[in-house]
Chains A and B, each alone.
Chain A
Amino acid sequence: MVSPGVVFKVLEAGLGNGADFAEIFVEDAYSSELSMVDSRPGKAIVGRLRGAGIRLFYGHEVVYATTSDLSEAGLIKAARTAASALRGAGRARPSEPRARGFDSIHAYGKRPWEHDRGMKFRVLQALDGAARARSSMVTQAAPALLEKNQKILVANSLGTWAEDERNYVTLRLAVTLEDGGEREEASKRTGDLGTAEVLGKIDIEAFAGECVDQGVRLIHADHAPAGEMPVIIDNGFGGVIFHEACGHGLETTSVAKNASVFCGKLGEKIAESCVTAIDDGTMANTWGSLDVDDEGMATRRTVLIENGVLKSYIVDGMGARQTGFAPTGSGRRQSYKFAPASRMRNTFLAAGEDRLEDMIRDVDHGLYAKSMGGGSVNPATGDYNFGVREAYLIRNGRLEKPVKGASLIGRGIDTLGRIVKVGDELSLEPGMCGSVSGSIPTTVGQPAILVSKILVGGRAG
């Protein structure tokens, strides 16, 4: 995308005012979205994002400048703009870039613009038809297909030179249901680090059926109760609890500012022995995986918590400088418009030995959260919240009835200590994670877990 000679000049300009490190991130991305609404074509959008971000370090201080002008003059101007922000004592000169070749661990087929749009649209039509045929309560179906191809180049003054190509494909369905004056919405999505060939592996009937059936089960369900109680969180997207409650607090973005409840706890037992948590960027063609991160470092598998003991934080380049911990290949960003930060990849709790049925039998009065929505956390306090899409009341060891509208709130480190059982069936789900460096693809996952006490925000009275 940009020649080594130009990159060298840009890095040299970046170091011109005493910075001790300079980096350039160049991106050329193509995105496409096709959708339907009212059983007709909806969105047909394509777009190109192309630009560069230049990052300078002055000790622990960071300067970042972006430009969509990839000419030599445009890049050098951006580097000089960045360098003019601060003055440092560094005398570094950029090293000659060393291209680091690697074999991608991910397999891709045709790029988004090479695929027949008609084939893609027929998938959406099939989803629309299947959703509407599934239940007469369906008043709207909105299927959508999003594809992205992202080519990146990262080079820095230490000689790093890494190029990568990533392809993402997401199929999404949202349905609205109405019955007897009640309304409900349900949605379902896939997410692959891959290309549109994966659409051929999706069972459209089952995909639409699962989405619509959830809405049908919920539309006349009672509201969830309110108060503290034991909660079983099922596998798959249930892993959002670890992502929100703990994962963000393990990122050096928070740890380096002493703004995480996990600060200073490395090596300490912070959970029961049944809890092992992993952040893994190396899983082939998995939504949150990478080959190299957005700082040019090869991705890796990081054990965060092992048998309840905190083993590692999630560390990016600046986080490594600030905390002294080794980087974990976790520097990520949405696009060149964002400086990278320490972010999660595919993050999950490892499988344990308990069976879901046994966990339910052990609860007298509690909640079984079968399907989770998203959530958020305040990393500084560890206070998290997340929504439950589909839940069931447990009474006397049995599922009593479906309930809706629950949210779960608590403090991450407390909840982590209250995971008392971990199921034997791990599954992963794709999601999007928003934070300081933008919105990025991440996978969450876990087996079913039993938490002895969480505040359920349902309806009182």
Chain B
Amino acid sequence: MIFRELDPTFEKIAALAAADGAAAEVLVTREDKFSVSVQKGRVDKFDSGLGLCAGVRVVTDGQEGCCSTEDLSEDAILRSYREALECARFAAGQSESRDAALGMVGSGARGQVEALPDGFSRARAIERKIELARQLEGASLKRDPRVVAVPYNGYVESIGATRVFNTKGVDCASERSSVYAYAYALARDGAESRTGREVFFARSEGEFDPVRTGGRAAERAIAKLGSVQPETGVFPVLFDAAPAAELLGQLAAYLSGKAVAEKRSIFALDSLGRPISSPVLTIEDDPFLPMGPGSRPFDSEGTEAARATLLENGVLRGFLLNSVYARKLGLRNTGHASRGPKSELGIGPSNWVVKPGAEGRAALLRRHPRVIVVTDLAGFHAGFHAGSGNFSLQAEGELWEGGERKTPLCNFVVSGGFKDLLASIEAVGNEVPRPFSSVVTPEILVAGLSVAGR
């Protein structure tokens, strides 16, 4: 079992919590991570670090308190328990009402349920890692002389471990690895500068092809040269897989049972069983997706992970729930507790997977005489207003006419309301991209969206 050396500490916490009339949970994480980026073949930055953290969550008298420490000594973790208890007792003293839903999972996972994939080496030569980063940058620079730099690039490896222990009987651990690489190629032609990005995610280094990732970033940047501003109007818009993932990922936040209970979602409990999008949209949360960045055997409370269908042919079938918000809303816990050692209990998806449709990209682009393809979106944190669902986002893309690419586009904004966007999704593409984030979706075609340009 990972963190076996902490077993005596956990036993002491169990004894303390029993004496204090409290329930306690300890979430311990370890992340051994390094990243390297290069500029013109030389190491620009090489980062390596081992991060350890323990987060103690205590529930007593209908209140929760949390405390974290990066010192995993017994003294430090026991001190964190006492501080978390003090926080919970303080909060309980500020309110006469008790939150009966607060508590901990009593029948979650036990044991170590995931190990590193075969072939993941902890001690690969540093030179080999630096060489991968060089190949990544080099592939971008060599693809076209107009690629003048790859100002942001990196090859990142991480091995992480998590153990969840609580005083109700949960004790589980898992270990995972990831390889992540990114390249932002900068292409220049006269006074025009454009960047193209490509990201890659896998569980082990062997799958990483730096030439492909770096080359693809360059191709994206080059394809944007000669961009013009589209005219202002309402157009059919095809979102490529990456921007579609950014948009549809917002739905996961709205379908969090916590957001619903706290009235921060644009959907309410009575939306269950009703259509909230066009019937072409079906979304499943899949914690077992092979190569999924969000794959996990159990959630942050230790509840065993399970697949959940959230949206079926446009009809809302469920919310993402942890044990607390399942009790609050009178629904079944779906195993979507999410927290880090430094945060309180929350809710989050694992892999948010959109079911592919029947048509390929070429067919989608021929559905309308003119289609604006959005290849990149920016400014979510400023341009997406979660409270109202209104968005206004900076975009780059392409104009297609009669199924043919006419020109790259820049400096425009796509705007709308999120509910309207969901309702006007006309089709979902049939190509499922390799997962590069925890939202996995083919491209989506939206019937009509406001475009601000010339």
Real complex partners, A and B? yes
Chain A contact residues, CB within 8 Å of chain B: 37-38, 40-51, 53, 58, 60-68, 81-82, 84-86, 117-118, 121, 125, 139-140, 142, 176, 178, 182-186, 223-224, 226-228, 254, 257-259, 261, 337, 339, 373-376, 378-383, 385-387, 404-407, 409-411, 455-461
Flag if B44 contacts A61 (CB, 8 Å).
yes
What's the nearest-Cβ distance from chain A to residue B79, in Å? 9
Assess the B151–A47 pair: CB atoms within 8 A: no
Q: Is the CB–CB distance between A380 and B71 below 8 Å? A: no
| Chain A contacts for B149, CB-based, 8 A | 257-259, 380
Once the chains bind, are A140 and B263 in contact (CB under 8 Å)? yes
Of the candidates B43, B63, B415, which one forms a contact with A44 in the assembled complex, judged by CB atoms under 8 Å apart?
A: B63
Number of residue pairs across A and B with beta carbons under 8 Å? 251
A85 interface neighbour in B42, B48, B378, Cβ under 8 Å: B48
Residues of B within 8 A of A375 (CB): 379, 382
Closest Cβ–Cβ distance, residue A262 to chain B (whole Å): 12
Contacts of B76 in A (CB 8 A): 48
With a cutoff of 8 Å between Cβ atoms, the chain B residues found around residue A381 in the complex are 186, 193-195
Known contacts: A82-B48, A407-B383. The answer to whether A46 contacts B450 by CB under 8 A is no
**Which residues from B are CB-within-8-Å of A404?**
388, 390
The contact of B264 among A81, A82, A176, A254, by CB within 8 Å, is: A176
Q: Scoring B residues 62 to 90 as 1 if CB is less than 8 Å from chain A, else 0, what string do you get?
A: 01111111110000100000011001101
How far is A380 from B196 in the complex, measured between Cα atoms in Å? 11
B293 to chain A, nearest CB (A): 20
A220 to chain B, nearest CB (A): 11
Contact with A along B392-429 (1 / 0, CB 8 A): 11100000000000000011111110000000000000
Asked if B233 lies at the interface with its beta carbon under 8 angstroms from chain A, I say: yes
> In the docked arrangement, what's the CA distance between A404 and B390, Å?
9
Show 15 residue pairs from A and B whose CB-CB distance is below 8 angstroms, ordered by the A residue.
A41-B63, A46-B66, A64-B48, A85-B126, A185-B388, A257-B44, A261-B193, A373-B383, A381-B193, A405-B388, A407-B382, A458-B452, A459-B450, A460-B450, A461-B234
Q: How far is the CA of A37 from the CA of B71 in the complex (A)?
A: 31
Residues in B whose Cβ lies below 8 Å from that of A67: 49-50
Interface SS of chain B: helix, strand, loop or mixed? strand
Contact between chains at B385 and A405 (CB < 8 Å): yes
Interface centre among B84, B97, B343, B388 (most CB of A within 10 A): B388
Chain A residues positioned under 8 Å from B83 (CB to CB): 46
Given A44-B66, A226-B413, A406-B392, answer yes or no on A380-B45 (Cβ-Cβ < 8 Å).
Answer: no
User: By DSSP majority rule, is chain A's interface helix, strand, loop, or mixed?
Assistant: strand
In the assembled complex, the CB of B8 is this many whole angstroms from the nearest CB of chain A, namely 20
Tell me whether A41 and B392 are in contact (CB under 8 A). no
CA distance A67 to B42 in the complex (A): 25
Across the A-B interface, the 9 shortest Cβ-Cβ residue pairs: A185-B387, A457-B413, A66-B49, A226-B452, A387-B382, A259-B151, A385-B379, A41-B91, A385-B394
Query: Residue on A with the closest CB to B91?
Result: A41
- A117 nearest CB neighbor, chain B only: B90
Q: Is there contact, CB below 8 Å, between A385 and B91?
A: no
With A117-B90, A258-B148 in contact, do A376 and B382 touch (Cβ < 8 Å)?
yes
Known interface pairs A46-B84, A257-B44, A460-B451; 19 further A-B residue pairs with C-beta atoms within 8 A, sorted by A's residue number: A41-B63, A44-B91, A45-B342, A45-B344, A48-B76, A58-B43, A61-B42, A65-B49, A66-B50, A66-B51, A68-B52, A68-B70, A140-B264, A185-B388, A257-B39, A259-B149, A339-B47, A380-B193, A455-B413
> Complex formed: what's the CA distance from A72 to B149 in Å?
41
Contact partner, A460, options B342, B379, B383, B452, Cβ 8 Å: B452
Q: In the complex, A81→B344 CA distance in Å?
A: 34
User: What B residues does A185 contact at CB under 8 A?
Assistant: 264, 385-388
Q: Is B431 located at the chain interface by the 8 A CB criterion? A: no
Q: Which A residues are CB-close (under 8 A) to B394? A: 383, 385, 407, 409, 457
Query: Which residues of chain B come closer than 8 Å to A259, judged between CB atoms?
Result: 149, 151, 186
Tell me the smallest distance from the CB of B411 to a CB of chain A, in Å.
6
Q: Which residues of chain A are within 8 angstroms of B46 by Cβ–Cβ distance?
A: 61-64, 82, 85-86
Q: Give chain B residues whose Cβ lies under 8 Å from the Cβ of A461.
A: 233-234, 450
Assess the B263–A407 pair: CB atoms within 8 A.
no
Residue from B184, B383, B389 with most neighbouring chain A CB atoms (10 Å): B383
B232 within 8 A of A: yes
Give A68 to B70 CA distance when docked, in angstroms. Answer: 7
What A residues does B381 contact at CB under 8 A? 374, 376
Set B151, B385, B392, B410: member contacting A457, Cβ < 8 A: B392
Residue B266 lies at the interface, judged by CB distance under 8 Å to chain A: yes
CB of A460 within 8 A of CB of B263, answer: no
By the criterion CB–CB under 8 Å, are B234 and A176 in contact? no
Contact B44 A62 (CB under 8 A): yes
A38 cross-chain contacts in B, Cβ below 8 A: 262
Q: Within 8 Å CB of A186, what residues of B? A: 387
Residues of A within 8 A of B90 (CB): 44, 117-118, 121
User: A45-B87, A457-B392 are known contacts. Are A62 and B49 too (CB-CB below 8 A)?
Assistant: no
Chain B residues, CB < 8 A from A62: 43-46
Give Cα A347 to B370, complex, Å. Answer: 44
B124 at interface by CB-CB < 8 Å: no
Instruction: Judge if B453 is at the interface, Cβ distance under 8 Å.
Output: yes
Is B246 among interface residues, defined by CB-CB distance under 8 A? no
For window 134-154 of B, CB contacts with A under 8 Å fall at: 148-149, 151
- Using A62-B44, A176-B263, A381-B193 as known contacts, say yes or no to A44 and B392 having CB atoms under 8 A apart: no
Chain B residues in 8 Å Cβ range of A68: 50-52, 70-71
Residues of chain B in range 81-121 having any CB-CB distance to chain A below 8 Å: 83-84, 87-88, 90-92, 94-95, 97, 99
Nearest-neighbor residue (CB-CB) of A66 within chain B: B49
A43 to B415, CA, bound (A): 34
Point out the residues of chain A lying under 8 angstroms from B389, CB to CB. 183
Q: Does B122 contact A (CB under 8 A)?
A: no
